[in-house]
Structure 1
Amino acid sequence: MHEDGLKNFLGVTASISTILQFLTGALVCQKVVQNKSTGDQSALPFISGCLSTSLWLRYGFFIKDTSIILVNTIGAALFFAYVITFAIYSLRKSILFRQFAGCVIFLLSTLVYIQNIESPQIAQRHLGLICTMVTIFFFATPLVSLLHVLKVHSTESLPFPIIFSSFLVSAQWLIYGVLLGDPFIQIPNFLGCVLTGFQLSLFYCYSQNTKGYSSELI
Protein backbone atom coordinates (compact mmCIF):
# COMPACT_ATOMS: atom_id res chain seq x y z
CA MET A 1 0.00 0.00 0.00
CA HIS A 2 2.90 2.28 0.82
CA GLU A 3 4.42 1.64 -2.61
CA ASP A 4 1.11 2.33 -4.37
CA GLY A 5 0.80 5.58 -2.46
CA LEU A 6 4.33 6.55 -3.52
CA LYS A 7 3.52 5.72 -7.15
CA ASN A 8 0.39 7.90 -7.07
CA PHE A 9 2.29 10.72 -5.37
CA LEU A 10 5.10 10.62 -7.91
CA GLY A 11 2.58 10.39 -10.76
CA VAL A 12 0.86 13.59 -9.62
CA THR A 13 4.03 15.52 -8.76
CA ALA A 14 5.77 14.44 -11.98
CA SER A 15 2.76 15.61 -14.01
CA ILE A 16 2.74 19.00 -12.25
CA SER A 17 6.52 19.33 -12.66
CA THR A 18 6.24 18.45 -16.35
CA ILE A 19 3.69 21.20 -16.94
CA LEU A 20 5.90 23.66 -15.04
CA GLN A 21 8.83 22.49 -17.18
CA PHE A 22 6.86 23.27 -20.32
CA LEU A 23 6.12 26.75 -18.95
CA THR A 24 9.84 27.54 -18.59
CA GLY A 25 9.90 28.02 -22.34
CA ALA A 26 7.93 31.20 -21.72
CA LEU A 27 10.99 32.64 -19.93
CA VAL A 28 13.11 32.00 -23.01
CA CYS A 29 10.47 33.51 -25.30
CA GLN A 30 10.11 36.53 -23.00
CA LYS A 31 13.81 37.24 -23.44
CA VAL A 32 13.44 36.81 -27.21
CA VAL A 33 10.54 39.29 -27.33
CA GLN A 34 12.44 41.80 -25.18
CA ASN A 35 15.51 41.58 -27.43
CA LYS A 36 13.36 41.35 -30.57
CA SER A 37 15.73 38.60 -31.71
CA THR A 38 16.39 34.92 -31.01
CA GLY A 39 20.13 35.58 -31.08
CA ASP A 40 22.16 32.34 -31.16
CA GLN A 41 19.33 30.24 -29.74
CA SER A 42 17.87 27.51 -31.91
CA ALA A 43 14.14 26.75 -32.13
CA LEU A 44 14.92 23.04 -32.43
CA PRO A 45 14.34 22.29 -28.70
CA PHE A 46 10.83 23.74 -29.02
CA ILE A 47 10.15 22.02 -32.33
CA SER A 48 11.26 18.64 -30.99
CA GLY A 49 9.22 19.33 -27.84
CA CYS A 50 6.16 19.93 -30.00
CA LEU A 51 6.78 16.62 -31.77
CA SER A 52 7.42 14.72 -28.53
CA THR A 53 4.29 15.95 -26.76
CA SER A 54 2.16 15.30 -29.84
CA LEU A 55 3.34 11.68 -30.00
CA TRP A 56 2.85 11.14 -26.26
CA LEU A 57 -0.60 12.69 -26.60
CA ARG A 58 -1.47 10.03 -29.19
CA TYR A 59 -0.02 7.40 -26.87
CA GLY A 60 -2.22 8.73 -24.05
CA PHE A 61 -5.33 8.34 -26.18
CA PHE A 62 -4.10 4.89 -27.20
CA ILE A 63 -3.89 3.62 -23.62
CA LYS A 64 -6.72 5.89 -22.38
CA ASP A 65 -4.59 7.58 -19.70
CA THR A 66 -6.11 10.92 -18.61
CA SER A 67 -2.90 12.26 -17.03
CA ILE A 68 -0.81 11.69 -20.16
CA ILE A 69 -3.54 13.23 -22.32
CA LEU A 70 -3.83 16.34 -20.12
CA VAL A 71 -0.09 16.93 -19.69
CA ASN A 72 0.74 16.54 -23.37
CA THR A 73 -2.24 18.54 -24.62
CA ILE A 74 -0.95 21.48 -22.58
CA GLY A 75 2.63 20.75 -23.68
CA ALA A 76 1.82 20.57 -27.39
CA ALA A 77 -0.10 23.86 -27.24
CA LEU A 78 2.71 25.64 -25.37
CA PHE A 79 5.52 24.36 -27.58
CA PHE A 80 3.60 25.35 -30.70
CA ALA A 81 3.22 28.87 -29.27
CA TYR A 82 6.96 28.99 -28.56
CA VAL A 83 7.76 27.92 -32.12
CA ILE A 84 5.50 30.69 -33.45
CA THR A 85 7.33 33.22 -31.24
CA PHE A 86 10.70 32.08 -32.58
CA ALA A 87 9.36 32.18 -36.14
CA ILE A 88 8.39 35.84 -35.66
CA TYR A 89 11.76 36.97 -34.31
CA SER A 90 14.18 34.56 -35.96
CA LEU A 91 16.56 35.85 -38.64
CA ARG A 92 16.89 32.31 -39.99
CA LYS A 93 13.25 31.58 -40.70
CA SER A 94 13.97 29.20 -43.58
CA ILE A 95 15.92 26.85 -41.28
CA LEU A 96 13.15 26.97 -38.68
CA PHE A 97 10.46 26.22 -41.26
CA ARG A 98 12.43 23.28 -42.67
CA GLN A 99 12.92 21.83 -39.20
CA PHE A 100 9.25 22.25 -38.33
CA ALA A 101 8.13 20.77 -41.66
CA GLY A 102 10.38 17.76 -41.06
CA CYS A 103 8.80 17.18 -37.64
CA VAL A 104 5.27 17.49 -39.06
CA ILE A 105 6.08 14.94 -41.77
CA PHE A 106 7.57 12.57 -39.18
CA LEU A 107 4.53 12.97 -36.92
CA LEU A 108 2.02 12.31 -39.71
CA SER A 109 4.03 9.34 -41.00
CA THR A 110 4.14 7.83 -37.50
CA LEU A 111 0.40 8.27 -36.97
CA VAL A 112 -0.39 6.64 -40.31
CA TYR A 113 2.03 3.78 -39.58
CA ILE A 114 0.53 3.10 -36.14
CA GLN A 115 -3.00 3.32 -37.49
CA ASN A 116 -2.28 0.59 -40.04
CA ILE A 117 -0.97 -1.94 -37.50
CA GLU A 118 -3.69 -4.51 -36.89
CA SER A 119 -2.53 -5.74 -33.48
CA PRO A 120 -3.21 -3.17 -30.69
CA GLN A 121 -0.42 -4.67 -28.56
CA ILE A 122 2.16 -4.35 -31.33
CA ALA A 123 0.93 -0.84 -32.19
CA GLN A 124 1.27 0.21 -28.54
CA ARG A 125 4.78 -1.25 -28.30
CA HIS A 126 5.93 0.41 -31.52
CA LEU A 127 4.44 3.77 -30.57
CA GLY A 128 6.03 3.54 -27.12
CA LEU A 129 9.41 2.85 -28.71
CA ILE A 130 9.04 5.81 -31.08
CA CYS A 131 7.99 8.08 -28.20
CA THR A 132 11.04 6.93 -26.25
CA MET A 133 13.43 7.77 -29.09
CA VAL A 134 11.84 11.17 -29.71
CA THR A 135 11.97 11.99 -25.99
CA ILE A 136 15.69 11.21 -25.93
CA PHE A 137 16.11 13.47 -28.97
CA PHE A 138 14.20 16.22 -27.12
CA PHE A 139 16.60 16.00 -24.18
CA ALA A 140 19.59 16.09 -26.52
CA THR A 141 18.57 18.92 -28.89
CA PRO A 142 20.31 21.67 -26.87
CA LEU A 143 23.55 19.79 -27.65
CA VAL A 144 23.37 21.17 -31.21
CA SER A 145 24.92 24.30 -29.70
CA LEU A 146 27.66 22.31 -27.95
CA LEU A 147 30.44 23.10 -30.43
CA HIS A 148 29.59 26.79 -30.29
CA VAL A 149 29.56 26.67 -26.47
CA LEU A 150 32.97 24.99 -26.35
CA LYS A 151 34.36 27.43 -28.90
CA VAL A 152 33.27 30.67 -27.21
CA HIS A 153 33.40 29.32 -23.63
CA SER A 154 29.88 30.65 -22.99
CA THR A 155 26.53 28.90 -22.47
CA GLU A 156 24.45 31.90 -23.52
CA SER A 157 23.10 29.94 -26.50
CA LEU A 158 21.78 27.16 -24.23
CA PRO A 159 18.27 27.52 -22.67
CA PHE A 160 19.13 27.09 -18.98
CA PRO A 161 15.51 27.08 -17.63
CA ILE A 162 14.53 24.27 -19.99
CA ILE A 163 17.64 22.18 -19.31
CA PHE A 164 17.42 22.56 -15.52
CA SER A 165 13.71 21.75 -15.37
CA SER A 166 14.23 18.82 -17.74
CA PHE A 167 16.78 17.37 -15.32
CA LEU A 168 14.37 17.61 -12.38
CA VAL A 169 11.42 16.21 -14.32
CA SER A 170 13.36 13.32 -15.85
CA ALA A 171 14.64 12.39 -12.38
CA GLN A 172 11.08 12.20 -11.07
CA TRP A 173 9.84 10.12 -14.02
CA LEU A 174 12.89 7.86 -13.69
CA ILE A 175 11.99 7.00 -10.09
CA TYR A 176 8.36 6.56 -11.13
CA GLY A 177 9.42 4.23 -13.95
CA VAL A 178 11.54 2.15 -11.57
CA LEU A 179 8.55 1.73 -9.24
CA LEU A 180 6.36 0.69 -12.16
CA GLY A 181 9.02 -1.53 -13.72
CA ASP A 182 8.31 0.13 -17.09
CA PRO A 183 11.38 0.32 -19.39
CA PHE A 184 9.65 2.81 -21.73
CA ILE A 185 9.64 5.27 -18.82
CA GLN A 186 12.99 4.27 -17.30
CA ILE A 187 15.26 4.37 -20.36
CA PRO A 188 14.48 7.83 -21.81
CA ASN A 189 14.44 9.47 -18.40
CA PHE A 190 17.71 7.87 -17.30
CA LEU A 191 19.35 9.14 -20.49
CA GLY A 192 17.56 12.44 -19.95
CA CYS A 193 19.22 12.77 -16.52
CA VAL A 194 22.62 12.02 -18.04
CA LEU A 195 22.25 14.43 -20.99
CA THR A 196 20.76 17.32 -19.05
CA GLY A 197 23.24 16.76 -16.20
CA PHE A 198 26.11 17.11 -18.68
CA GLN A 199 24.61 20.30 -20.11
CA LEU A 200 24.18 21.75 -16.62
CA SER A 201 27.85 21.04 -15.93
CA LEU A 202 28.69 23.39 -18.82
CA PHE A 203 26.89 26.23 -17.05
CA TYR A 204 29.10 25.63 -14.01
CA CYS A 205 32.28 25.45 -16.10
CA TYR A 206 31.53 28.62 -18.08
CA SER A 207 29.47 30.56 -15.51
CA GLN A 208 31.91 33.47 -15.46
CA ASN A 209 31.58 33.93 -19.23
CA THR A 210 27.80 33.63 -19.47
CA LYS A 211 25.66 36.73 -19.26
CA GLY A 212 22.27 36.50 -17.61
CA TYR A 213 22.76 33.17 -15.83
CA SER A 214 26.17 33.51 -14.18
CA SER A 215 24.85 35.37 -11.15
CA GLU A 216 22.22 32.66 -10.61
CA LEU A 217 24.80 29.87 -10.59
CA ILE A 218 27.34 31.33 -8.18
Structure 2
Amino acid sequence: MALTLLMVVAVLGNVASMSLYAAPTVTFKRVIRKKSTEEFSCIPYIIALMNSLLYTWYGLPVVSNKWENFPLVTVNGVGVLFELSYVLIYFWFSSPKGKVKVAMTAAAVLTVVGVIAIVSTFAIPDHRHRKLLVGSVSLGVSIALYASPLVAMKKVIETKSVEFMPLPLSLSSLLVSLLWMTYGLLIRDIFVAGPNVVGTPLGILQLVLHCKYGKRRQKEEANKQIGHEEKLDMEMGHHKNENVPSN
Protein backbone atom coordinates (compact mmCIF):
# COMPACT_ATOMS: atom_id res chain seq x y z
CA MET A 1 0.00 0.00 0.00
CA ALA A 2 2.77 2.40 1.00
CA LEU A 3 4.77 1.51 -2.12
CA THR A 4 1.71 2.05 -4.33
CA LEU A 5 1.07 5.46 -2.74
CA LEU A 6 4.71 6.37 -3.23
CA MET A 7 4.58 5.46 -6.92
CA VAL A 8 1.32 7.39 -7.45
CA VAL A 9 2.78 10.51 -5.83
CA ALA A 10 6.00 10.11 -7.86
CA VAL A 11 4.09 9.80 -11.15
CA LEU A 12 1.85 12.76 -10.32
CA GLY A 13 4.93 14.73 -9.26
CA ASN A 14 6.58 13.97 -12.60
CA VAL A 15 3.49 15.05 -14.57
CA ALA A 16 3.05 18.24 -12.54
CA SER A 17 6.75 19.06 -12.87
CA MET A 18 6.52 18.69 -16.66
CA SER A 19 3.73 21.29 -16.58
CA LEU A 20 5.92 23.56 -14.46
CA TYR A 21 8.83 23.20 -16.86
CA ALA A 22 6.53 23.91 -19.81
CA ALA A 23 4.80 26.92 -18.21
CA PRO A 24 7.50 29.47 -19.20
CA THR A 25 6.98 28.62 -22.89
CA VAL A 26 4.33 31.37 -22.87
CA THR A 27 6.95 33.85 -21.74
CA PHE A 28 9.52 32.69 -24.28
CA LYS A 29 7.02 32.74 -27.14
CA ARG A 30 6.60 36.41 -26.28
CA VAL A 31 10.39 36.88 -26.21
CA ILE A 32 10.73 35.23 -29.64
CA ARG A 33 7.78 37.19 -31.07
CA LYS A 34 9.09 40.54 -29.83
CA LYS A 35 12.75 39.59 -30.31
CA SER A 36 13.43 41.09 -26.89
CA THR A 37 13.82 39.81 -23.32
CA GLU A 38 12.10 43.01 -22.06
CA GLU A 39 12.11 43.10 -18.24
CA PHE A 40 12.31 39.34 -17.78
CA SER A 41 15.30 38.06 -15.79
CA CYS A 42 17.41 35.06 -16.79
CA ILE A 43 18.49 34.31 -13.20
CA PRO A 44 15.49 32.10 -12.24
CA TYR A 45 16.04 29.92 -15.33
CA ILE A 46 19.77 29.52 -14.69
CA ILE A 47 19.08 28.63 -11.05
CA ALA A 48 16.43 26.16 -12.25
CA LEU A 49 18.98 24.62 -14.64
CA MET A 50 21.45 24.21 -11.79
CA ASN A 51 18.74 22.72 -9.59
CA SER A 52 17.76 20.17 -12.26
CA LEU A 53 21.40 19.19 -12.90
CA LEU A 54 22.11 18.67 -9.19
CA TYR A 55 18.97 16.64 -8.48
CA THR A 56 19.57 14.51 -11.58
CA TRP A 57 23.03 13.78 -10.23
CA TYR A 58 21.60 13.19 -6.73
CA GLY A 59 19.20 10.54 -8.08
CA LEU A 60 21.79 8.59 -10.10
CA PRO A 61 23.37 5.43 -8.62
CA VAL A 62 26.70 7.25 -8.29
CA VAL A 63 25.23 9.23 -5.38
CA SER A 64 22.06 7.41 -4.32
CA ASN A 65 21.90 3.73 -3.47
CA LYS A 66 21.16 1.98 -6.78
CA TRP A 67 17.94 3.45 -8.30
CA GLU A 68 16.16 4.37 -5.07
CA ASN A 69 15.63 7.92 -6.37
CA PHE A 70 14.85 7.10 -10.01
CA PRO A 71 11.81 9.49 -10.15
CA LEU A 72 14.21 12.37 -9.44
CA VAL A 73 16.35 11.38 -12.42
CA THR A 74 13.44 11.27 -14.87
CA VAL A 75 11.82 14.54 -13.89
CA ASN A 76 15.01 16.55 -13.47
CA GLY A 77 16.54 15.09 -16.63
CA VAL A 78 13.63 16.55 -18.58
CA GLY A 79 13.99 19.74 -16.55
CA VAL A 80 17.59 20.11 -17.75
CA LEU A 81 16.42 20.07 -21.39
CA PHE A 82 13.68 22.64 -20.77
CA GLU A 83 15.75 25.05 -18.70
CA LEU A 84 18.73 24.83 -21.05
CA SER A 85 16.42 25.72 -23.95
CA TYR A 86 15.08 28.75 -22.06
CA VAL A 87 18.58 29.99 -21.20
CA LEU A 88 19.71 29.63 -24.83
CA ILE A 89 16.65 31.52 -26.12
CA TYR A 90 17.20 34.25 -23.53
CA PHE A 91 20.86 34.47 -24.55
CA TRP A 92 19.98 34.72 -28.24
CA PHE A 93 17.58 37.64 -27.81
CA SER A 94 19.53 39.50 -25.11
CA SER A 95 21.42 42.72 -25.64
CA PRO A 96 25.24 42.41 -25.91
CA LYS A 97 25.53 43.34 -22.24
CA GLY A 98 22.82 40.80 -21.37
CA LYS A 99 24.63 38.07 -23.30
CA VAL A 100 27.76 38.61 -21.21
CA LYS A 101 25.74 38.38 -18.00
CA VAL A 102 24.01 35.16 -19.10
CA ALA A 103 27.26 33.56 -20.28
CA MET A 104 29.16 34.40 -17.08
CA THR A 105 26.34 33.24 -14.79
CA ALA A 106 25.78 30.00 -16.70
CA ALA A 107 29.53 29.26 -16.81
CA ALA A 108 29.78 29.75 -13.03
CA VAL A 109 26.80 27.42 -12.47
CA LEU A 110 28.19 24.68 -14.73
CA THR A 111 31.59 24.97 -13.04
CA VAL A 112 30.06 24.52 -9.58
CA VAL A 113 28.00 21.52 -10.71
CA GLY A 114 31.05 19.97 -12.39
CA VAL A 115 33.21 20.38 -9.25
CA ILE A 116 30.50 18.83 -7.04
CA ALA A 117 30.14 15.89 -9.46
CA ILE A 118 33.90 15.25 -9.49
CA VAL A 119 34.32 15.59 -5.71
CA SER A 120 31.32 13.36 -4.93
CA THR A 121 32.56 10.71 -7.37
CA PHE A 122 36.28 10.53 -6.58
CA ALA A 123 36.81 12.12 -3.15
CA ILE A 124 33.94 10.57 -1.19
CA PRO A 125 33.88 6.76 -0.92
CA ASP A 126 30.32 5.97 0.27
CA HIS A 127 26.75 6.77 -0.80
CA ARG A 128 25.74 8.23 2.56
CA HIS A 129 28.30 11.04 2.49
CA ARG A 130 27.86 11.60 -1.24
CA LYS A 131 24.14 12.13 -0.66
CA LEU A 132 24.96 14.47 2.22
CA LEU A 133 27.22 16.63 0.03
CA VAL A 134 25.12 16.72 -3.14
CA GLY A 135 21.85 16.85 -1.19
CA SER A 136 22.97 19.80 0.94
CA VAL A 137 24.03 21.86 -2.07
CA SER A 138 20.86 20.85 -3.95
CA LEU A 139 18.74 21.86 -0.97
CA GLY A 140 20.31 25.32 -0.84
CA VAL A 141 19.92 25.85 -4.60
CA SER A 142 16.36 24.59 -4.55
CA ILE A 143 15.39 26.96 -1.75
CA ALA A 144 16.95 29.80 -3.75
CA LEU A 145 14.91 28.67 -6.76
CA TYR A 146 11.68 28.71 -4.79
CA ALA A 147 12.60 32.07 -3.30
CA SER A 148 13.28 33.63 -6.73
CA PRO A 149 9.54 34.33 -7.32
CA LEU A 150 9.85 36.83 -4.46
CA VAL A 151 11.39 39.20 -7.03
CA ALA A 152 8.39 38.73 -9.31
CA MET A 153 6.00 39.12 -6.38
CA LYS A 154 7.70 42.37 -5.36
CA LYS A 155 7.23 43.65 -8.92
CA VAL A 156 3.56 42.61 -8.85
CA ILE A 157 2.99 44.59 -5.64
CA GLU A 158 4.88 47.63 -6.98
CA THR A 159 3.16 47.70 -10.38
CA LYS A 160 -0.17 46.24 -9.19
CA SER A 161 -0.02 43.99 -12.27
CA VAL A 162 0.50 40.22 -12.62
CA GLU A 163 1.79 40.56 -16.19
CA PHE A 164 5.27 39.29 -15.28
CA MET A 165 4.02 36.47 -13.00
CA PRO A 166 1.97 34.15 -15.25
CA LEU A 167 -0.87 32.27 -13.54
CA PRO A 168 -0.03 28.85 -15.11
CA LEU A 169 3.48 29.12 -13.63
CA SER A 170 2.13 29.95 -10.16
CA LEU A 171 -0.39 27.09 -10.21
CA SER A 172 2.17 24.56 -11.45
CA SER A 173 4.68 25.70 -8.83
CA LEU A 174 2.21 25.17 -5.99
CA LEU A 175 1.12 21.73 -7.21
CA VAL A 176 4.71 20.56 -7.73
CA SER A 177 5.70 21.75 -4.25
CA LEU A 178 2.81 19.90 -2.61
CA LEU A 179 3.49 16.63 -4.47
CA TRP A 180 7.26 16.54 -3.98
CA MET A 181 6.92 17.56 -0.34
CA THR A 182 4.63 14.55 0.11
CA TYR A 183 7.06 12.31 -1.78
CA GLY A 184 10.01 13.52 0.31
CA LEU A 185 8.12 12.90 3.55
CA LEU A 186 7.12 9.40 2.41
CA ILE A 187 10.73 8.40 1.66
CA ARG A 188 11.95 10.40 4.67
CA ASP A 189 14.45 12.41 2.63
CA ILE A 190 14.96 15.95 3.88
CA PHE A 191 16.82 16.89 0.70
CA VAL A 192 13.66 16.20 -1.34
CA ALA A 193 11.01 17.43 1.11
CA GLY A 194 12.91 20.44 2.49
CA PRO A 195 12.77 22.93 -0.41
CA ASN A 196 9.11 22.16 -1.02
CA VAL A 197 8.26 23.12 2.55
CA VAL A 198 9.40 26.60 1.46
CA GLY A 199 7.85 26.36 -2.01
CA THR A 200 4.32 25.53 -0.83
CA PRO A 201 3.57 28.74 1.14
CA LEU A 202 5.27 30.82 -1.59
CA GLY A 203 3.00 29.20 -4.18
CA ILE A 204 -0.05 30.04 -2.07
CA LEU A 205 1.14 33.64 -1.73
CA GLN A 206 1.46 33.92 -5.53
CA LEU A 207 -2.15 32.81 -5.95
CA VAL A 208 -3.25 35.38 -3.36
CA LEU A 209 -1.54 38.10 -5.41
CA HIS A 210 -3.21 36.81 -8.57
CA CYS A 211 -6.61 37.00 -6.86
CA LYS A 212 -5.91 40.54 -5.72
CA TYR A 213 -4.23 42.11 -8.74
CA GLY A 214 -5.50 39.81 -11.49
CA LYS A 215 -9.10 40.90 -10.91
CA ARG A 216 -7.98 44.51 -10.78
CA ARG A 217 -6.28 44.17 -14.16
CA GLN A 218 -9.36 42.50 -15.66
CA LYS A 219 -11.50 45.35 -14.33
CA GLU A 220 -9.13 47.97 -15.80
CA GLU A 221 -9.14 46.20 -19.19
CA ALA A 222 -12.94 46.02 -19.10
CA ASN A 223 -13.14 49.75 -18.30
CA LYS A 224 -10.75 50.51 -21.17
CA GLN A 225 -12.89 48.42 -23.52
CA ILE A 226 -16.05 50.24 -22.39
CA GLY A 227 -14.31 53.59 -22.82
CA HIS A 228 -13.13 52.58 -26.29
CA GLU A 229 -16.66 51.54 -27.29
CA GLU A 230 -18.12 54.80 -25.93
CA LYS A 231 -15.54 56.76 -27.91
CA LEU A 232 -16.46 54.88 -31.09
CA ASP A 233 -20.16 55.52 -30.44
CA MET A 234 -19.48 59.26 -29.98
CA GLU A 235 -17.41 59.38 -33.19
CA MET A 236 -20.12 57.54 -35.13
CA GLY A 237 -22.77 59.90 -33.73
CA HIS A 238 -20.64 62.89 -34.70
CA HIS A 239 -20.26 61.59 -38.25
CA LYS A 240 -24.01 61.00 -38.50
CA ASN A 241 -24.70 64.57 -37.38
CA GLU A 242 -22.28 65.84 -40.01
CA ASN A 243 -24.15 63.94 -42.70
CA VAL A 244 -27.58 65.34 -41.72
CA PRO A 245 -28.51 68.14 -44.22
CA SER A 246 -29.03 71.54 -42.64
CA ASN A 247 -32.17 73.62 -43.32
- The alignment's TM-score, normalised by the length of structure 2, stands at 0.77
Letter in 2 for 1:78: F
Measure, in 2, the Cα distance between the counterparts of 1:42 and 1:126.
29
Contact 1:170 1:190 in 2 (8 A): yes
Which stretch of structure 1 is more off in the superposition, 79-88 or 125-134? 125-134
Once the two structures are superposed, what CA deviation does each residue of 1:57-85 show, in whole Å capped at 9, x if it has no partner?
Answer: 11111223433222222110111011111
Structure 1 position 165, deviation (Å):
0.7
> Which residues of 2 match residues 69-108 of structure 1 at below 5 A?
69-91=73-95, 92-108=98-114
- The alignment's TM-score, normalised by the length of structure 1, stands at 0.86
User: Which consecutive residues of structure 2, in runs of 5 or more, have no partner in the other structure?
Assistant: 223-247
Q: Which residue of 1 aligns with 2:144?
A: 137
Once the two structures are superposed, what CA deviation does each residue of 1:76-109 show, in whole Å capped at 9, x if it has no partner?
Answer: 0111011111111223323222322221222123
Structure 1 position 10, deviation (Å):
0.9
Letter in 1 for 2:45: F
Once the two structures are superposed, what CA deviation does each residue of 1:91-146 show, in whole Å capped at 9, x if it has no partner?
Answer: 33232223222212221232233232233311112211211111111112222344
Measure, in 2, the Cα distance between the counterparts of 1:193 and 1:5.
24
Letter in 1 for 2:82: L
Structure 1 position 176, deviation (Å):
2.1
Q: Which residue of 1 aligns with 2:8?
A: 9
* Percent identity of equivalent pairs: 25
Once the two structures are superposed, what CA deviation does each residue of 1:2-39 show, in whole Å capped at 9, x if it has no partner?
Answer: x3322221111111211222122222211211222221
Matched residues, number: 212
Q: Does the residue aligned with 1:37 lie in a helix, a strand or coil?
A: coil
> Which residues of 2 match residues 1-218 of structure 1 at below 5 A?
1=1, 3-61=2-60, 62-63=63-64, 64=67, 65-91=69-95, 92-115=98-121, 116-208=123-215, 210=217
Structure 1 position 181, deviation (Å):
2.7
Measure, in 2, the Cα distance between the counterparts of 1:153 and 1:129.
37
Structure 1 position 187, deviation (Å):
1.6
Structure 1 position 172, deviation (Å):
0.9
Contact 1:41 1:158 in 2 (8 A): no
Letter in 2 for 1:7: L
Letter in 2 for 1:8: M
Which stretch of structure 1 is more off in the superposition, 149-158 or 45-54? 149-158
Greater Rg, structure 1 or structure 2? Answer: 2
Distance 1:145 1:185, change over 3 A: same
Aligned-residue CA RMSD (Å): 2.2
Which stretch of structure 1 is more off in the superposition, 16-25 or 78-87? 16-25
